[in-house]
Each structure stands twice: as structure tokens, then as C-alpha cells.
Structure 1
Amino acid sequence: MKVTSRKLFASAALFTASAIALSGCAPSASTPAESEASGEPITVWVDIERQPALEAVAASFTDETGIPVDLVTRDFATVDQDFISQVPTGEGPDVIVSPHDKLGAYVAAGVVAPVELGDVADQFADTAIQAMTYDGATYGVPYSIENVALVRNTALVPDAQTTFDAAIAAGRAAGTQYPFLVGLSPEQGDPYHLYPLQTSFGSEVFAQNADGSYDPSQLVLGDENGVRFADALKTWGAEGILNPNIDSDKAKEFFLAGQSPYYLTGPWNVPDIKAAGIDYAIDPIPSAGGEAARPFVGVNGFFLSSKSTNALAATNFIVNYLSTEDAQMSLYEAGGRPPALLSAYDKAAAEDPDIAAFGQIGQDGVPMPAIPEMGSVWADWGNAELALIRGEGDPAQVWTTAASNITAKIAG
């Protein structure tokens, strides 16, 4: 965990450049080392699960720089709104732990500052850096990547299938109550979990630019590929493949009870599957529409407050200390998500085939859009899916109406 003096020296220019960007003026005469020597604490907002994993790296940082790190646990159901409201008042933290899909809202509110990762960026998965990037600037240091996959009860279905139709046929042949399980909200569906099936029809939400970023002016949800997916949703609902009354808790309960050979879920439910003694495999999600099934990828990371009064030290902490293999492995062990740092992922994958499987599947995924316009998408998108699964309405009309409503909301 030790940061060499050479690394600190090489990062001095990085810190100075960050200071210029943060202050909007010329840097002060003090060097990063002089700034850090002031001993002003760094405050980090973190969830209760990851707080213990950060204690050792925080202690190492304090030992080497003399700067305390105050790890403050927050309720992560509301922390993003607290961050947006408190940073402008000077009451927010220096650093926040957050999923990347909040980044667009943070940038729009002016509460986060770009960070220069330099050569550190090359040590992370490309998807993770892409998720931390907005309008060409990198705003955070990633630490985990997560996505869904298809968990299969190998006692019920011994072999993986390459198409969704074949998987459903195998699920029916298993003779269980449900051929396939995925948790859906009875109030708003679940576009997140169903997205890999949607992308297998070639249907996406927003068009992507050449660099992988999303173009908020091009909502492509309602195109002909989306209508094909809408047709499939209605069919799957009629055939009992998708059930709007099975929420996430029930889906897990039924799978653990052996009532289905398939469960579309993420790594967060694997510990309970292991504890239940189920023999399982983690498969790529089979294609339903003929193209690759590409799940959303969620990236968690550390973001720097735009109003941090100790930005140089905070940047040092997140760039040079939280990017180490030890730090990333500690966070992995606390949360069970594949590490974003390549060396840490390789180490975790060698120890745990589940991490290797989820990580491999995530390589074919796409970062969840972090643009603020996504806030206008979820409700109509989910309601359209829910209506179709329930057998309500003409698929083309339901789907294109939802897309038109979203376009109107984005336009304001």
C-alpha cells in the first residue's frame, strides 16, 4: 500500500493541474506536499458495507501524509441528493463513493470536479474508465464493475444454451413451476434486468458516439428494433415466461427453493445461492433476438467534490491510494463485485470462478447511461414493459407512445 516518493513526485504536476481546474485561477505558491502538510482532514462519504474496507488504506494515507481521513457512513438511498444539495453550501464531503450513473446529475449540478488519472487510467478496465468519463473529462476513480448474468441450476439443466428460446425449452423440460425467473416490479417493471434481452434485438435507449458516450439528442428506444422487442415482451407475458407479479424477493425465493432452473440476476445474490447448497453455473445471457445480449454495466467509484477545500490531498488519496491492488481487493472482498483494476480483477477471478464469469460477461456489456436525460426515461420505459407483459395494448403503439412521451419530457 506504500506510495513511493517517485510516484508522489510524478503526480505533482497532476495535482497542480487539478488545482487550476478546481479554482479557475493560477495555482498558489504552495506545492502539493506543502498543501498536504497542513493536515486538514479529508472527509469521505461511504456506505456502511464499504466503510471497513477503506479503513486500512485511509490509515496508510494518514501515516504517509499526516492527513486524517474521516470515513462518514451515509444512507445511500438518498446520498446523491444530499451530495447535490450540500456541496454548494460547503457542508458536503471531499470525496463521495457513488455509482457512475449519478455522474451526469453531479456534473449538471456542478458538484464534482474532473481528476487527472494519467498512467493510472491504463490500469483499469476500459469500460470502467468510460463510465467515469463525461463530456470528455474523467471524474472519478472506479473500483468495481457489476452486471447481470444468467444463473443456472445445473442439477435441473446440465448444459448452457445459446438462445433464449432454447433456454426456455430446457426450462420447461426441467418440469419446475417456472421455466425462467427474473424479478420485476409490479409497479414499474424492470428495464435494467430486461435490457440484455432488449439489446439482443438490436434495441438501445440512446445512440452512442464513436467514443462510447451517449448522445442525449438521439433517443432510439422507439425504433423498429424496439418494436420487435415489444412484441416479444407481450408473447413472453402471455406464455408465462415473464410474470409481473414476481418481484425480486420472490424470484430469489423461488430459485432457492428449486422452482426454476434459471435466474437472471447479479453477483449480489450469489452468496445466498451458495448458502442454499445449489449447484449452479453462471452463463452469458442467451440471445432472444439474434444479436448479442449486452447487459448494462454499473461502475462504482470515488468522485471528488468541486468544493473540496483540500482538493490536492483528496486527489492524491483517490488517485494514488484507492487505485492500488490492495485497496481494490479490500473493496472487492467487502462487496463481492468484480474489481475495476485489471490486476485486482485477475487476482479475484483466479480465486473465484463466479467473479471470472460475471467479469467476462460484463466485457460485452455497455455502461448504463449517466446522462441526466436518463431521469426522464425509466418511468415510461418500465410502464410500457409492464403493460405489454400484462397483455395490455398493441406492442407497436405502446412502445412508440412511451418513446414519444420520453422525448417530450427530455425536451421539457
Structure 2
Amino acid sequence: MRKSFLAAAAVGLSLTLAACGSGSSTSTPSATGDATTSAAATTSSAPAAAGSLTVWADETRIDAFKTLGETFSAETGVALDVVQKPSADIKNDFIAQVPTGEGPDLIVTAHDATGDLVKNGVVSPVELGDKAEAFGDVALRAVSLEGQVYGVPYAVENIGLVRNNALVQDTPATFDELIAQGKGVSGAEFPIVIQQGENGDPYHLYPLQTSFGAPVFKSDANGDYTAELGMAGPEGEAFAQYLKKLADEGVLSASIGGDQAKQAFLDGKSPYIITGPWWTGEFVDAGLDISVLPVPSAGGQPAAPFVGVQAVFLSSKSENQLLAQQFLDFMGTKETQDTLFEMGGRMPALNESADAVSDEILAGFGEAGAEGQPMPAIPEMGAVWQYWGGAEVSILTGKAEPVAAWQTLVTNLEAAFQA
């Protein structure tokens, strides 16, 4: 199924993506046009109308994809009808509509939908061939399942350690040393703030958990997640005991949710916060001098945050497979990934674009995610969050003994997987 790829005439990178689910593999022409040519100039020599594609995007990406649609149409003559769908509905509506023939040709969504999309047969795999190495490894793993690639990734995000440089200038190598340092900062109420809340927040604690060698799921030889829990056993139990230690020391609290954590950092009450790029703009606007760093290890192994990837997926029932392949090829160019970075402020999935990012804060998140793990996209992940957060809160609040709470979590999850 692997095939060679034609270089795009002016942008130098093409991903002639073949939809494997259509029963045939056909190469399609690359999008043309100079990467430095303005949309207006390109329009003047745009090819004749060649058809149309419907794309669903949520409220946070609609503007960017409408802009891309104008450029794509100018270069190819293919119109892009970008339809806004609520982020909470896009996956389920797509799964419901594709079998009826009423769904779009393509959707833009987070990679953790991959498992459900594949399970329901609503997306076609795409073949990246030799150009797969043009993408970051984590980004590519995120949109892959059982050896198949199901989407073209374009943006990557993860959490990291954000430091207030007015309070501390050097960060220790271990999390325990960081806590000791933070406790010694004059005027600080917290050595670090990590949002939790009454329902818990395993996402923001995950770098600490993985540093104990307790990933949520185990992986196979290909790097794909299996349904076997990786956080069962002594490694996960050691992390549970560490949570209790942090709670006893006042480092972690279920009473500190996202808003409280953000405000504490803004007010200079803590030298550190574990968060993502969604808040750093507010920190900078407030006049804070910040740096973004990898989360130090608590358990001796690398602290690996979850990595989220945004991607474009192709409907298995699209009647416009060839045109859709053209758009997927377009999504893999440096020009397109640069545009999405400029409009969305997230690290590009394409290595060439990511390497060109000069913003120190975003580059810091890239470094913080270098050891990251894709958010599991297997169907079993849907059962994990509620039990996981509840178990961690029970430990933080002292309602349950750490090891017992963690063992109950594992038992509940394994039962849920069998249901």
C-alpha cells in the first residue's frame, strides 16, 4: 500500500495521500502555487471550478479553515464548504451521519476520536508512505491505530511547567527538589499549583504519574496502545502514595480548580504552574516574565505529559475521494501548517514548520512534550476518566487509603472494559 510521492511544484512538500478504504489507490495532482504568492494574486490565475468538498470544524477552528479554504480553492478550483459544528457534537454527529450518506467529506477534530471513528467504520485510512517521517513521531502515532494512519495531523499541544522568572530563575531536576525550592520563595503561598477540582484532574497529574512508570495503558511492539492497563501494579500504587504525600504537604488540593490555579499564578502566589499554552497569553498580558520547561520527574523516570493532536480525517463514505485526497495533500504542506500555526498558536505537526517556530514559550512547550505520549485514542479510554479522577480525589481528600483506592480504580476499569 505504500507508494511514492510527487513533490509539490512550488512548496516542495507533498503528501499524495491515498484513501485505502476506497478499494483503489490513485495518485492525485499536488496543489500548485508559490508559497509566497498572495491569495489575491493566486485567485487571478485560479483554475476552473473542479468540484467541492464539505468540511466540519468546531468553533475554535472555523475561521482558520475558512481562510485555508480560500487559498485551496484559488490553487485547485475545488471549493471548500466549511461548516461549523460544536466541538462536543462533532464526533458523535459524524458517526451518526456518515452511514446515511449525509455527513461531510472531511472533519477536523482531536486525535483521541480516532478509536471511535475507526470502530464505527466512518473514516478511511490514508497512506503517507515515505513522507510519514516529515511529521513528528508523537503526532503520527496519535492518528494511527493497528498500523494504519487515519488522519493528517497539523497541530500538537501539551502541558508543561510554567515558571514565573521574577520568583525563581533556576529549576531543579526533580519534583521533590522543586517543591522544596518553592516552599522557600518569599511571599509564595504554594510551591506549585496544579489544578484539580472536586472531580479530580488526571490530565494535569499525568506527567508525575508517568514518571513512576505507570502509563494509563501499555503499548505493543508497534507503539500502539493496548487495552491492558499500564497503571496497574506497584508503579501505579507508588504514584498513589505520592499523591497522598503531596496532599499532606499542602501541595495538591481538590479545592484548587483551574480558575483558582490560574489566578494564584497570576497573583504571584506560586513560582510554578503546570498548564498548557491556553493560559500563557494571559500570563504575558499580565506582565509576567515566564518560561516553559519540562515537568521534573517525581518517580525517577521521564515525566511524559499527554500530547493532543489536531488532525483532518476522511469520511469512508465520501463521494469525492479524489478531491479529498487533494485537500489532505494540501494539509501536509509547510505553507498550510505555517498558516494554521499563525492563526491557532499551536505547534505544527510537520517537523519543518515546527523547527521554524521562534516563539520561546511555544518552543518550551515543544520541549516539555518531547517525552510526551499521545492521548490514548482506543475506545477503552472513554471509560477511564470518571473512575480515574474520582480515585485521585479520594486520595487527595483522605477519604480512601492510596493503595486501596488505586486497586479499586484498576478493578473498576477492568470491569468496565468487559462490559
TM-score (norm 1): 0.91
Residue 56 of structure 2 is aligned to residue 45 of structure 1: yes
d(CA) in 2 for partners of 1:244 and 1:156? 25
Deviations 1:365-410 (A, max 9, x none): 1111110011111111111001001112221111011101100010
State the AA in 2 paired with 1:227. Answer: E
1:22 is matched with 21
Structure 1 residues 10, 135: closer, same or farther in 2, change over 3 A? closer
Deviations 1:304-337 (A, max 9, x none): 111111011112101x211111211111122211
Structure 1 residues 361, 171: closer, same or farther in 2, change over 3 A? same
d(CA) in 1 for partners of 2:248 and 2:13? 61
Deviations 1:179-234 (A, max 9, x none): 21111131x21111101000111111111112211111x21322101000001111
Q: What RMSD in Å do the two structures reach over aligned CA positions?
A: 2.3
Residue 287 of structure 2 is aligned to residue 277 of structure 1: yes
1:225 is matched with 235
Answer yes or no: is the 8 Å Cα contact 1:162–1:287 preserved in 2.
Answer: yes
d(CA) in 1 for partners of 2:125 and 2:27? 20
Structure 1 residues 404, 10: closer, same or farther in 2, change over 3 A? closer
Residue 188 of structure 2 is aligned to residue 183 of structure 1: no
1:113 is matched with 124
Residue 104 of structure 2 is aligned to residue 93 of structure 1: yes
Residue 416 of structure 2 is aligned to residue 409 of structure 1: yes
1:78 is matched with 89
2:374 is matched with 367
Answer yes or no: is the 8 Å Cα contact 2:28–2:326 preserved in 1.
Answer: no
Residue 387 of structure 2 is aligned to residue 377 of structure 1: no
| SS in structure 2 at match of 1:377 | helix
Between structures 1 and 2, the one with greater helix share: 1
% same residue: 45
Deviations 1:14-57 (A, max 9, x none): 54xx2xx3344x68xx9957xx9883310111123323323343
Structure 1 residues 38, 280: closer, same or farther in 2, change over 3 A? closer
Deviations 1:221-275 (A, max 9, x none): 2210100000111121122100111111111111111111110001111111110
d(CA) in 2 for partners of 1:210 and 1:145? 24
State the AA in 1 paired with 2:191. Answer: P
Structure 1 residues 280, 9: closer, same or farther in 2, change over 3 A? closer
Give the one of 35, 44, 57 matched to 2:68: 57
d(CA) in 1 for partners of 2:49 and 2:286? 52
TM-score (norm 2): 0.89
Give the one of 302, 317, 325 matched to 1:292: 302
d(CA) in 1 for partners of 2:82 and 2:128? 23
Q: Runs of 5+ in structure 2 lacking a partner?
A: 1-6, 30-46
Please state how far the C-alpha of 1:6 moved relative to its aligned partner. 12
State the AA in 1 paired with 2:374. Answer: P
Residue 14 of structure 2 is aligned to residue 4 of structure 1: no
Deviations 1:108-148 (A, max 9, x none): 11111101122332211111111111111100100111111
Structure 1 residues 355, 10: closer, same or farther in 2, change over 3 A? closer
1:353 is matched with 360
d(CA) in 1 for partners of 2:60 and 2:415? 39
Deviations 1:341-381 (A, max 9, x none): 11111111xx2111221112211111111100111111111
Structure 1 residues 32, 346: closer, same or farther in 2, change over 3 A? closer
Residue 317 of structure 2 is aligned to residue 310 of structure 1: no
2:256 is matched with 246
Residue 352 of structure 2 is aligned to residue 343 of structure 1: yes
2:340 is matched with 331
Count of residues in Structure 1 that have an aligned counterpart in Structure 2: 395
d(CA) in 1 for partners of 2:416 and 2:360? 43
Residue 172 of structure 2 is aligned to residue 161 of structure 1: yes
Answer yes or no: is the 8 Å Cα contact 2:11–2:333 preserved in 1.
Answer: no
State the AA in 2 paired with 1:304. Answer: L
d(CA) in 2 for partners of 1:255 and 1:130? 33
Structure 1 residues 380, 361: closer, same or farther in 2, change over 3 A? same
Structure 1 residues 172, 61: closer, same or farther in 2, change over 3 A? same
Residue 147 of structure 2 is aligned to residue 136 of structure 1: yes
State the AA in 1 paired with 2:334. Answer: E
Q: Which moved more, 1:371-380 or 1:85-94?
A: 85-94
Answer yes or no: is the 8 Å Cα contact 1:268–1:336 preserved in 2.
Answer: no
| SS in structure 2 at match of 1:286 | coil
State the AA in 1 paired with 2:163. Answer: R
2:38 is matched with none
